Amino acid sequence: MKKLLILACMGAFFLVGCKNEKPAPNLANIESTDSLKRIIAQKDTEINDMVGTLNEIQEGFREINEAENRVSLVKDGEGSDQKQQIRENIQFISNTMKKNRELIKKLQRQLRESSYKGGELKKTIGNMLKQLDEKDQQLQQLRAELDARDIHISELDETINNLNTDVSDLKTESAQKTETINNQDRQLNTAWFVFGTKKELKDQHILVGGKVLQSNFNKSYFTKIDIRVDKEIKLYSKSAKILTMHPGSSYTLTQDNNKQYVLRITNPQIFWSTSKYLVVLVK
């Protein structure tokens, strides 16, 4: 009887202990959450830095507009210090434009190095380059007006020459980056296909010992395509078998009215994800 009582007490104690136990935290979830927070914080910092640079550039353009208005007022007036006032404002415009050019380059670098790839920000940078073009034209017009009044400001000539050079440099840099991106885009969306009889594929070392695309196969025998555009390949044969590996859900292989097979790629990204080379055996 005493033994039964002791066992009952121990059982009750064990049950109470189990109820009070707290589940251990999921360390994997905690680490994943912390990692996500760090990524978000990093992206927020990058965006804040770019917005700060963008605000500086916009403030620079505002100050340039104000200085241009001051020049317009002074050149239409009279006074012994007219040239000096114009010179000071032109010098201010020159310095501010130089600063803005440096900030635009900085913003381009920030965007290039950032994990944030915003299309709208690229458009904004393009618009700011157009603004620099407009300032160039306005300064050239100002020089013509001052020359007509026999007011020659050497600083204005220097500013225009520097602006022409820097705008050209920025456009060249932007064009080079665009070309690089376009080249990378073309490479990512380029694939090659070939179809032929067993003999034809063997002759080009595309099919060797029952295996496809081993070393030293003739790449020039393939047709290059853009996977975004070329989604249908006519095989001109009543017998067709795909030898390379491509997910079955990403294409259809059906016969047309002439009983000849046509390959239709319904999901190019998935179809070409396993191989950028397509080999089809026909008879």
| Lowest mean pLDDT, pick from 11-15, 42-46, 141-145, 244-248 | 11-15
Instruction: Answer yes or no: do 81 and 138 share one domain.
Output: yes
Instruction: Answer yes or no: do 55 and 133 share one domain.
Output: yes
Give the C-alpha separation, 209 to 211, whole Å.
5
Instruction: Answer yes or no: do 195 and 84 share one domain.
Output: no
Instruction: Answer yes or no: do 274 and 231 share one domain.
Output: yes
**pLDDT confidence tier of residue 16, bands split at 50, 70 and 90:** very low
Q: Give percent of the chain above pLDDT 90.
A: 27
In a domain, 166, yes or no: yes
Verdict on whether the full-model pTM lies above 0.85: no
**pLDDT confidence tier of residue 181, bands split at 50, 70 and 90:** low
> 19 pLDDT exceeds 60?
no
Instruction: Answer yes or no: do 174 and 210 share one domain.
Output: no
Supply the pLDDT for residue 60: 84
The DSSP 8-state label assigned to residue 22 in this structure reads P
Supply the pLDDT for residue 26: 53
> 143 pLDDT exceeds 80?
no
Give the C-alpha separation, 58 to 119, whole Å.
19
Supply the pLDDT for residue 128: 84
How many independent structural domains does the chain possess? 2
Give the C-alpha separation, 259 to 235, whole Å.
11
Q: Report the SS3 class of residue 47.
A: helix
Supply the pLDDT for residue 243: 94
Instruction: Answer yes or no: do 273 and 194 share one domain.
Output: yes
Name which residue leads in pLDDT, 67 or 231: 231
Give pairs for 183-188: CB < 8 Å, separation 24+: 186/226
